[in-house]
Amino acid sequence: MNNKNKMDYIEIKGMKFHSYIGHYDEEKEIGNKFNVDLKLVTNSKKAAKTDNLNYGLDYVTVYSVVKQEMNKKCNLVENVTERIVAHLFQNFSKIEALEIKVTKLSPKIGGMVDEVSIIKNIERSEYEK
């Protein structure tokens, strides 16, 4: 994220979901708990000066996008992560770059593991290639 010195971050941490994301039948039937963290790079200077949401990034709507994608069944955490990234870049032109972390809690991998996460850092210019 090269723009980090010029831009501001909006962080949305600890979004919690019960989702049916996983390869195994048990995960598809019972589901699992997930956390999603976002760091969105945007320029909030005009929003700060005007105190007007029209110039800012509406994180209520951002949350709705994440929730919508987390409610779709799929096999891989990588898939839902990529769908969230695509949806955010397509619908929020104010997002210049983002970092997303999608965490599956207590994954069923044959041992005691607290969590497995997919973390993706991407700038809009990389996404649009």
Per-residue model confidence (pLDDT) at position 36: 98
Which residue carries 């994440």 as its tokens?
A: 66
- Mind listing the domains of the chain with CATH numbers? 2-127 (3.30.1130.10)
Per-residue model confidence (pLDDT) at position 3: 45
Per-residue model confidence (pLDDT) at position 6: 65
- Verify whether residue 104 is a known catalytic residue: yes
Catalytic one of 104, 108, 120, 129: 104
pLDDT in tens, the chain (129 residues): 554 456 789 999 999 999 999 998 888 899 999 999 999 999 989 998 999 988 889 999 999 999 999 999 999 999 999 999 999 999 999 999 999 999 999 988 888 899 999 999 999 999 876
